[in-house]
Amino acid sequence: MPSKVTFERFLWFHHQVRKGWHPNAVTLAERFEIAVKTAIQICKEAVEKVPGNHK
């Protein structure tokens, strides 16, 4: 089950994309005060969960 923090990050990212912005791992790290390395891992995990993504 996703945590409240995970959901908050998702909503923030979703709103950014809807506004036409394309946040990256550095932006995510700055916004949520986490390490860039952690943000990169979060992004990788999110991409792996996209339906139809065959890695």
Q: Which range is least confidently modeled, 3-7, 19-23, 26-30, 35-39?
A: 3-7
The amino acid sitting at 26 is V
pLDDT tens per residue, range 24-48: 889 999 999 999 999 999 888 877 8
pLDDT at 19: 95
pLDDT at 30: 95
Q: Which one is predicted more confidently, 23 or 3? A: 23
Q: What is the DSSP string of 1-17?
A: ---HHHHHHHHHHHHHH
Given a contact cutoff of 8 angstroms between Cβ atoms, the answer to whether 26 and 36 are in contact is yes
The residue behind tokens 């996209």 is 50
The arithmetic mean of pLDDT across residues 7-34, rounded, is 90
Given a contact cutoff of 8 angstroms between Cβ atoms, the answer to whether 47 and 53 are in contact is yes
Question: pTM (2 decimals)?
Answer: 0.67
